[in-house]
Amino acid sequence: MSEVNDLMNLPDENIDMIAATSVLQQQAADIRSRTVNWSSYMQSQMISQEDYQCISSLDKGKAVYFEQNPQQTVKTFLNLLSHVSKDSTIQYILVMVDDLLQEDRNRVDYFHEYAAKRKESVWGPFLNLLNRQDGFIVNMTSRIVAKIACWGHELMPKSDLNFYLQFLKDQLTMHMHSMPPDDDLKGMLKTNEYIQSVGRCLQMMLRIDEYRFAFVSVDGISTLISILSSHVNFQVQYQLVFCLWVLTFNPLLATKMNKFSVIPILADILNDCAKEKVTRIILAVFRNLIEKPTDPQVAKEHCIAMVQCKVLKQLSIFEQRRFDDEDITADVEFLTEKLQNSVQDLSSFDEYASELRSARLEWSPVHKSAKFWRENAHRLNEKNYELLRILVHLLETSRDPIILSVACFDIGEYVRHYPRGKHVLEQLGGKQIVMQLLGHDEPNVRYEALLAVQKLMVHNWEYLGKQLEKDSETQTKQGAAPISGKA
């Protein structure tokens, strides 16, 4: 994509093309037209004479005054944000700060320089405002924090960074929890009016490598995926997929990404979306998931996962369409070639592992193949039982009767073909979960759970029979009567 070359310097406006119509910007336009009676603040000794003169001068011509008095301007801003409590005045100050930074991003450095000279934190006055009740104050402050964190020469300290990223994550989670159970999109947008502003802040922050890992450490990727799995409009989809895209520029994160089921979720959106910008950014994520990992095996696994999620079929549809964006055409060609090559090299075990990792089990032929299980049951133990752990997790968390039925069947085949399967399964807590499914509401789930339990018990009997024979031989050698099972 052409954006790749300018990733770090991508202007904020180009990240979100409808920023000017967002709720935050609409409110900011109204706030700019206000007048604040600064003299009353000075007369009541709420602000100093120095700060009064500064803020009054900024009101008359903020850009000119700032260029002549940058340190005093920063000092006054931070003083006012720390000592003024009235919401409407705080809103006005924040809009003024944001406008100055938006006009020239280099002005961020004055904030850092002022704090360094005074040996104070530039973040404190802003982070404190994130606890306010007023939605505009909170989200305009968040926007300013992102600019100071991304546009200056100094990175945000770890403790402040974690606090801020946790705040952004919580804002996304609040958005997710407040969504209605049906498709009432208007109601959703009404209760989550600042979600685009939260997305914009993340789009900025995650272009910086150090911030990416901090976001992952607060379980940020899972939050993005949870929201993308639910009903959100195309603009929010674009913003959150953009966040995933910039994360995948780090090879390590690109390697780990599909452990969060990124490919299945994005494949679903790709299949349903009608907006070209969403299509473009999803294809860009897929391309990074193939190009960025340093381990060819990981890239291969990502290709197989895309094939498993029917991406190749969608690409063939895209090949018949004309796109205005050349990046889409290039990515479609690249992905089609890579995915077709992976299909040719696909083994039955690769197919099975990909299906399992996608968490979308179905009765594909590989499950019912006795030859497959004879040859591959032991491979569920690889990478510290990765695939077996996924099976157990699906049994524990899925609500889909087909997934539960297939997972029960696979568990049964695993213990039937791997001698130590029952012991391993017990260690992972799988036996207990299968037993619980004997009481499931769905008849097919109960049936497959019963078959799995029978295989578990047959395994027990085979082990018991061998143990009895062994004990009998031992006692015979020692001169004792063999165990006959009779009184």
**Residue 323 buriedness (CB in 10 A; 0-12 / 13-18 / 19+):** middle
User: How many C-beta atoms surround the C-beta of residue 213 within 10 A?
Assistant: 12
| pLDDT of res. 469 | 60
pLDDT at 3 over 50: no
Question: Structure tokens of 16?
Answer: 């979100």
Percent of the chain at pLDDT above 90?
A: 63
**Residue burial 254-275, b: 16+ Cβ < 10 Å; e: rest:** bbbbbebbbbbbbbebbeebee
Least confident of 232-246, 262-276, 471-485: 471-485
- Say whether pLDDT at 1 is over 70: no
Which helix (H) or strand (E) is 369 found in, with range?
none
User: Which CATH number goes with the domain that contains 381?
Assistant: 1.25.40.150
- More confident of the two residues 484 and 321: 321
Query: pLDDT tens-digit profile of 22-76?
Result: 889 889 999 999 889 999 999 888 899 999 999 999 988 777 888 899 999 999 9
C-beta separation of 74 from 112 below 8 A? no
In the predicted model, what is the mean pLDDT of the chain? Answer: 86
Cβ(409)–Cβ(373) under 8 Å?
no
Looking at residue 474, what is its pLDDT? 60
Residue 177 has pLDDT above 80, yes or no: no
Q: How many domains does the chain have?
A: 2
| Out of 222-231, 269-278, 463-472, least confident range | 463-472
- Residue 41 counted as domain residue: no
Q: Quick one: which H or E segment has residue 341?
A: helix 326-344
At 351 the pLDDT is 84
Question: What is the predicted pLDDT for the residue at 186?
Answer: 41
Q: How confident is the model at residue 81 (pLDDT cuts 50, 70, 90)?
A: very high
pLDDT interval class at 470 (50, 70, 90): low
Instruction: Encode pLDDT of 131-155 as tens digits.
Output: 999 999 999 999 999 999 999 989 9
pTM, entire model: 0.76
More confident residue, 278 or 189: 278
Domain termination site, one of 346, 379, 396: 346
What average pLDDT does range 148-165 have in this prediction?
Answer: 94
Same domain, 342 and 267: yes
Instruction: Please tell me which of 139-148, 224-233, 415-424 the model is most confident about, judged by mean pLDDT.
Output: 139-148
Assess whether pLDDT exceeds 80 at residue 479. no
CA distances from 363 to 173, 305, 403 (A): 34, 17, 9
What SS3 class is residue 123? coil
Domain that holds residue 450: 368-467
* Start-to-end CA span in the chain (Å): 81
Element (H, E) at 100: helix 87-103
Does the structure show a pLDDT above 80 at 126? yes
Alpha-carbon gap, residue 127 to 159, rounded angstroms: 11
Share of the chain above pLDDT 70, in %: 86
Cα–Cα dist 149/140, whole Å: 14
In a domain, 433, yes or no: yes
pLDDT confidence of residue 217: 94
Q: Would you state the structure tokens that stand for residue 327, as one six-digit string?
A: 């990046």
pLDDT beyond 70 at 221: yes
Predicted pLDDT of residue 462: 52
Containing H/E element for 449?
helix 443-477
Of the candidates 168, 275, 281, 292, the residue with the CA atom closest to the CA atom of residue 227: 168
pLDDT for res 302:
94
Same domain, 410 and 373: yes
What confidence score (pLDDT) does residue 348 get? 85
Q: For residue 422, how far is the Cα from the chain centroid? A: 35
Q: Distance between CA 142 and CA 337 in Å, rounded?
A: 42
Q: Which pLDDT score is estimated for 90?
A: 96
Q: How confident is the model at residue 460 (pLDDT cuts 50, 70, 90)?
A: low
Residue 207 backbone phi and psi in degrees, to 5: -80, -10
Per residue in 373-384, pLDDT (tens digit) is 999 999 999 999
Residue 452 lies in a domain: yes
Q: What residues contact residue 461 under an 8 Å CB cut-off, 6+ apart?
A: none
Mean pLDDT of all residues in 291-297: 95
**Count of other CB atoms within 10 angstroms of residue 480:** 10
Q: Are residues 380 and 463 in the same domain?
A: yes
User: Quick one: residue 231, left, alpha or beta (phi over 0 = left, psi -120 to 50 = alpha)?
Assistant: beta
Cβ distance 7 to 207 under 8 Å? yes
One domain for residues 339 and 372:
no
Please check whether residue 437 is in contact with residue 446, taking contact to mean a CB–CB distance below 8 angstroms. Answer: yes
Q: Which two tokens stand for residue 212?
A: 């990416």
Amino acid identity, position 416? R
Whether residue 378 lies inside any domain: the answer is yes
Is position 199 within any domain? no
User: Which one is predicted more confidently, 175 or 411?
Assistant: 411
Please compute the mean of the pLDDT values over residues 472-484 and round it to a whole number.
52
| Confidence category of residue 190, pLDDT binned at 50, 70, 90 | very low
Q: Which two tokens stand for residue 383?
A: 């990478």
Could you say which of 312, 346, 380 is where a domain stops? 346
Q: Do 312 and 380 belong to one domain?
A: no
The answer on 429 and 389 residing in a single domain is: yes
Other Cβ atoms within 10 Å of 104 Cβ, number: 12
Whether 422 and 459 share a structural domain: yes
- The answer to the question of residue 474 being in a domain is no
Strand residue runs (E) in 233-326? none
Same domain, residue pair 306 and 384: no
Q: Round to whole Å and give the CA distance between 84 and 90.
A: 7
Residue 277, pLDDT score? 93
Residue whose C-alpha is closest to residue 408's, from 375, 447, 371: 447
372 and 458 inside one domain: yes
- Residues near 92 by Cβ (< 8 Å), separated by ≥ 6? 31, 34, 36
Residue 484 has pLDDT above 50, yes or no: no
Say if residues 235 and 18 touch (Cβ distance below 8 Å).
Answer: yes
* Residue 476 confidence (pLDDT): 57
256 domain-assigned = yes
CA distance 188 to 65: 42
Average confidence (pLDDT) over 249-264: 93
Side chain identity at 212, as an amino acid letter?
Answer: R
CA distances from 364 to 94, 272, 423, 434 (A): 57, 24, 27, 21
Q: Are residues 335 and 376 in the same domain?
A: no
Would residue 80 count as lying in a domain? Answer: no
What is the chain's alpha carbon radius of gyration, rounded to the nearest angstrom?
Answer: 30
φ, ψ of residue 324 in degrees (nearest 5): -70, -30
Q: How far is CA 422 from CA 288, 352, 459, in A?
A: 40, 21, 7
Instruction: Give the integer Cα–Cα distance in Å for 260 and 118.
Output: 44
DSSP category for residue 394:
H
The closest of 314, 306, 325 to 270, measured between CA atoms, is: 314
